[in-house]
Amino acid sequence: MNPLLDLQPEVADELAAGRPVVALESTIISHGMPWPQNVETALAVEAEVREHGAVPATIAIVDGRLKAGLSRDDIERLGRDGQQTAKVSRRDMPMLVARGGTGATTVAATMIVAALAGIRVFATGGIGGVHRGAPTSFDISADLQELARTPVAVVCAGAKSILDLRLTLEYLETHGVPVIGYRTDRLPAFFTRDSGFGVDARVDEPREIARVMKAKWDIGLGGGLVIANPIPVEHALPREVVDRAIEQALAEAQAQGIAGKAATPFLLARVNALTGGDSLASNIQLVLNNARLAAAVAVAFAGLSQPDTLVPSGCSGEN
């Protein structure tokens, strides 16, 4: 075990016994939603994972320690401090650990800590990707490179719709990251079920996803997988409404010189405001939906090494 890593006792016990654990990120708590919905959502997501047969491990850096599994007090602290909390990706981890700081982990940093802990399944809202205008700005999320190098399956509602989704898919293809659609042939775009782009393969059952994961890593191929899980129909937003809000938010960000780490929280907050709060409600529902599927995949993956274990053939979440 890495000497800088602390496993919550329950998480350590489950991993030692080969039972299913699902990693959860913490930037959604500090930067993705306002107080108090951020803490309420984080606790609800953990409860959803438990209800579907796995143990949650929310990941963060707390007082210089890598944490796989947070206490309620830790979650409350991240939620109350909000955007005053450091947003931590791969490049930021050494400084924060060395200085004994506290930070919320992005998709990339969460994958790193999950892999160190031995957790193979991670649920989030949406992955980062290639930003619009990247051919001149070179603004590409570290999430994509982490997916190329770190062996964790990421269950998400596709890539965030504020991104250049065509270039994001091209990047993932170049780096050998499979994009699997759960019960869909189309790449979802966070708030909407269809981005207009296809996925690499459609898979209809969690156990089949687990087999793909095992095959990839048994072959010796590094890196992760994207499990694209569309937002439930009843919570999806019309694509034209989202596109219109995104265009306005992007124009405002450019006018205000907002870029880099600050861009995604700003854009998501503006899209939420421009949709009258509908996007926040959709965000919460898609994260819960991803937690359900991630738990089912984690149960199935754990069951592959225990052939006598009954493994659910489906996920209770409706798409």
Across 180-208, b (16+ Cβ under 10 Å) vs e yields: bbbbbebbbbbbbbbbebebbeebebbbb
Q: Which residue among the candidates 25, 76, 146, 205 is catalytic per the annotation?
A: 25
160 classed as catalytic:
yes
For residue 250, give the nearest of 146, 120, 90, 139 by alpha carbon: 139
Quick check: bond before 36 cis, omega within 30?
A: yes
Average pLDDT, the chain: 92
38-94 confidence digits (pLDDT tens): 999 999 999 999 999 999 999 999 999 999 999 999 999 999 999 999 999 999 999
pLDDT of res. 306: 66
- Mention every residue, 6+ apart, whose C-beta is less than 8 A from residue 88: 27, 61, 96, 103, 104, 105, 106, 109
pLDDT exceeds 60 at position 122: yes
- Mention every residue, 6+ apart, whose C-beta is less than 8 A from residue 104: 25, 26, 27, 29, 30, 31, 60, 78, 85, 86, 87, 88
Alpha-carbon distance 231 to 6, whole Å?
A: 33
267-315 confidence digits (pLDDT tens): 878 888 888 778 888 889 999 999 999 999 999 999 997 644 444 444 5
Q: Which residue among the candidates 67, 87, 160, 216 is catalytic per the annotation?
A: 160
25 classed as catalytic:
yes
Cβ count within 10 A of residue 83? 16
Query: What are residue 63's phi and psi, to 5 degrees?
Result: 50, 45
The separation between the first and the last C-alpha atoms of the chain, rounded to the nearest angstrom, is 38
Mean pLDDT to the nearest integer, 197-205: 98
Across 262-284, b (16+ Cβ under 10 Å) vs e yields: ebbbbbbbbbbebbeebbbebbb
78-91 confidence digits (pLDDT tens): 999 999 999 999 99
pLDDT of res. 310: 41
pLDDT exceeds 80 at position 317: no
pLDDT of res. 248: 93
Q: What percent of the chain has pLDDT over 70?
A: 96
Q: Which one of 1.10.1660.10, 3.40.50.300, 3.40.50.2300, 3.40.1790.10 gives the CATH number of domain 5-303?
A: 3.40.1790.10
Amino acid in the structure at residue 139: D
Mean pLDDT to the nearest integer, 129-158: 93
pLDDT of res. 315: 52
pLDDT exceeds 90 at position 138: no
pLDDT of res. 313: 42
218-238 confidence digits (pLDDT tens): 999 999 999 999 999 999 988
The confidence band for 319, taking pLDDT boundaries of 50, 70 and 90, is: low
253-267 confidence digits (pLDDT tens): 889 998 877 777 788
